Chain A
C-alpha cells in the first residue's frame, strides 16, 4: 500500500462517493425508499440526511415507477437526480420508466432531450433471500439501447464510478452488490474518478482469461489465487461496463491468453456471458486454443437453503475446475 491508497469498506466507499457528488453539484439530490430517516436500507446513505437536509436526501413512498419517473422528469428539467431503488428485485416495478422513458426520450425527441439520471440499486445473490429477492438482472439492463450499465465489483469502483456517472448526459444504471458492503478493500485516493467506458484487468496472467463482473470479480480473483499454486496464471477481466460493452478489452485478453472462461451469477441462458462468448467467436475465433466456457446461474428460481443457493451460482471451486478443463 502506498501513501495514496486507503483501506475502506465497500459501504463507506459508496457513501463517500455520494457525499462527493452531492457537494460537487447543487443540482444533485438522492431519492429513494428509506434513504433518509432510516439511513438507507443497507446503511449506505447513513448520516447524509443530517449533512445535506431533506431537499437533497428525499425519502420516497413505495412507488418505484412513480419516483423513478419523477427522477427522469427532474433530469429532463435540469436537475441531476440520483435515484436509489432499494434492490434490483424491485426494479421491475420501474422497468417501464427505465426502458420506455429514460432510454428512449433522447431518441424519440430527435436529440432534443437528454436524461442525465443515475439509478443505483443493490444487487446480488448469497444472503438466503429466496426466489423474489435474489435476482441478477444485469442481462436485462445490458440489453437496453440508450442505457449505460455499470456493475460495481470492486472497492475502487464503489468509490469512483458514481462521480464519473454523474458526468454522463445519458441515463446510467449502477448495480451495487450488497454481499460486498461489509468487506474491506484498497482504494487509490485522490484518483478523481475512473473511466466508465472500459473494462478493467484486475489481475494479469498469461494462461487463461476469466471474464466476469459484479461479485464474480472477487470469486475469479480467489480462483486465480488457487490456480497460481498449480502454476496457472489467470488473467481476470472485470467487464465493469455491461453496456456499451468494451469489446476491445475482451478481445485483447483473449488474444493474449487464447482461452476464456466467462463467469456470472445471472441465469446462463441469454446472459452477459452469451454475448461475450459470441463476440469472441465473431472476432477472435482463430485466436482461441479451446472453446469458450460459460459459467452462469443454474436455471431455477433461487432456493432458500444455503447449500442449494450455493449450488445455483458459480463458486470458486467450479471456476477452478472450469479453468482446468479449458487448459487440457
Chain B
C-alpha cells in the first residue's frame, strides 16, 4: 500500500488545489450552462477528481493524454488554462480548440492533450496507434487514455486492448468506472462486472483502484509507470468512482436514488484527502482557505475571460477541414 508519509506539504497543497479547482470549474460550468452561455452537451466531472489529479501527477509533460467527453478535469489537470477551456465552451476563438469543439472536444497539442473525443471508445484505437508511434521511434512516453465503464462494452475496447498487448505498446488505459453508462447501471451493461477481468482476458495487466482515494490512485500510478514507461507494456487501471452530478445537463437521474448519491458523497475524494493531509500535518486550515481563495479567483477570471471572448466570423466557416491551402 501507499507510503503515506512520503508526500510533502507542497505536493499535498498542489493536489488539493488541483481537485478543488476541477470541482469549482464544474460548478461554474453548470452555472454558465444554466445562464445559456454554454450550449450543446455538458458532462461534469464532479466526484471523480482524484483520478484526474492522481493520474496526471504520475505522468510527465512529454506523455500523451487522450480522453473522453467528460474531460474537463483531465484538461485542467493537464495544465490547460481554465480560461481557455471556458472560452471553448463559450464557442469563442480564444478557446483551446478555437471554439470549434466545445465542451466535448478540448484539445491542446502544446500540452500533448488530444481531446475530448465524444464517440464512446472510438479514441481507444487512437491511443494504441500513438503508442505504436512512440515504440517505433524508440521513445519512452506513456500514452494515457481515459474512458468510462460504458466504453468497456464496446468492441473497440476489446480490439484496442488486444492490439496493445499484441504489439507491446505503452498505453495506460484508465477506465473511470462511475457505475453508469448514461443511465444504465454497470450490472445491466456487463455480465462480468469486474472490468479487470476484461483487461486480463486480452493479455493486459489490469488492476482495480479506489478512484475516490487520491493516494490509492497515486500508488497505482507508481506501478503503472513501471509497467508502461519502463517495461513499455500496456496496462489497465479500473478506477472505481462515482459522478456526483447527472450524466449531462439533460439528465433527470431517474435511474439512481438520492440515497445512493448521498452515500457516495460521504466518500468525497476532496474532503477525504484534505482530512488525511490535515491529520498528517501537511495542511492547515489557513492553507485550505488560501487554496479556496486562489481557486475562486482563478475560476472567476476564467468566466470573465470567456465573457470577453470573440466569435469567429462566418466568412471563415470552412476553415480547419483540410490543411491550409487545400480548398475545394
Q: By the criterion CB–CB under 8 Å, are B159 and A66 in contact?
A: yes
Do B322 and A73 touch across chains, with their CB atoms under 8 A apart? no
Q: Which of A70, A79, A112 contacts B126 (CB 8 A)?
A: A70
Which residues of A sit under 8 angstroms from B117, Cβ to Cβ? 101
Q: Give the distance to chain B from A221, nearest Cβ to Cβ, in Å.
A: 28
Docked Cα-Cα span, A22 to B84, in Å, equals 40
The answer on a CB contact under 8 Å between A101 and B126 is: yes
CA distance A68 to B117 in the complex (A): 16
Binds A, one of B15-23, B51-59, B106-114, B185-193: B106-114
Which chain B positions have C-beta within 8 A of A78?
133, 137
Check A69–B319 contact: CB distance below 8 A.
no
Instruction: Please give, as numbers and ranges, the residues of chain A lying within 8 Å of B64 by CB-CB distance.
Output: 77
CB within 8 Å for A70 and B132 given contacts A63-B159, A110-B95, A170-B323: yes
**Cβ–Cβ < 8 Å partners of B127 in chain A:** 73
Say yes or no: A77-B162 contact (C-beta < 8 A), given A108-B116, A113-B114, A114-B323: no
Report B120 CB to chain A, min CB distance, Å: 10
Residue in A76, A79, A96, A170 whose beta carbon sits within 8 Å of that of B119 in the complex: A96
A97 contacts chain B at the CB level, 8 A cutoff? yes
Count class of interface residues, chain B = 35 or more
Q: Is the CB of A113 within 8 A of B126?
A: no
A106 touches B323 (CB 8 A): yes
A108 near B115 (CB under 8 angstroms)? yes
- A residues within 8 A CB of B105? 108-109
By a CB distance below 8 angstroms, the chain B residues around A101 are 117, 119, 122-123, 126
Judge whether B322 and A69 touch: CB under 8 Å: no
Whether A65 lies near B166 (C-beta < 8 A) is no
- Which of A76, A111, A145 sits near B130, CB closer than 8 Å? A76
Q: How far is the CA of A235 from the CA of B321 in the complex (A)?
A: 33
- Which of the residues B101, B134, B322 comes within 8 Å of A108, measured between beta carbons? B101
A214 at the interface (CB under 8 A from B): no
- Residue A71 lies at the interface, judged by CB distance under 8 Å to chain B: yes
Residue A146, interface by CB 8 Å? yes
Could you jot down 27 A-B contacts, CB within 8 Å?
Answer: A66-B159, A70-B129, A71-B129, A74-B129, A74-B136, A78-B137, A96-B119, A97-B122, A97-B125, A101-B122, A101-B123, A101-B126, A105-B115, A108-B97, A109-B114, A110-B97, A110-B100, A110-B101, A111-B320, A112-B108, A112-B109, A146-B322, A148-B322, A169-B322, A169-B323, A170-B322, A170-B326
User: Is there a chain B Cβ closer than 8 Å to A302's Cβ?
Assistant: no
Most buried by A among B107, B125, B136, B162: B125
Q: Give A65 to B328 CA distance when docked, in angstroms.
A: 28
Is B128 interfacial (CB-CB < 8 Å)? yes
With contact pairs A106-B320, A108-B107 given, residues A68 and B125 touching in the complex (Cβ less than 8 Å): yes
Given contacts A65-B159, A77-B134, A113-B114, contact A146 B321 (CB under 8 A): yes
Query: How many angstroms between the C-alpha atoms of A113 and B323 in the bound complex?
Result: 10
User: Which residues does chain B contribute within 8 Å of A65, judged by CB atoms?
Assistant: 125, 155-156, 159
Asked if A63 and B162 make an inter-chain contact with CB atoms under 8 angstroms apart, the answer reads yes
With A79-B136, A107-B321, A170-B323 as contacts: A69 and B107 at CB distance below 8 Å: no
Contact of A69 with B323 in the complex, beta carbons under 8 Å: no
| Contact A76 to B126, CB < 8 A, known contacts A107-B321, A110-B95, A110-B320 | yes
Q: Please, which residues of chain A bring their CB within 8 A of the CB of B328?
A: 244-245
- Chain B contacts with A in 288-328, Cβ cutoff 8 A: 319-324, 326-328
Give every chain A residue within 8 A of B172 (Cβ-Cβ): none
Interface residues of A in 88-115 (CB under 8 A from B): 96-97, 100-101, 105-114
Contacts of A168 in B (CB 8 A): 323, 326
A177 within 8 A of B: no
- Chain B residues whose CB sits within 8 angstroms of the CB of A72 once the complex forms: 125-126, 129
Q: Residue A271 at the B interface, CB < 8 A?
A: no
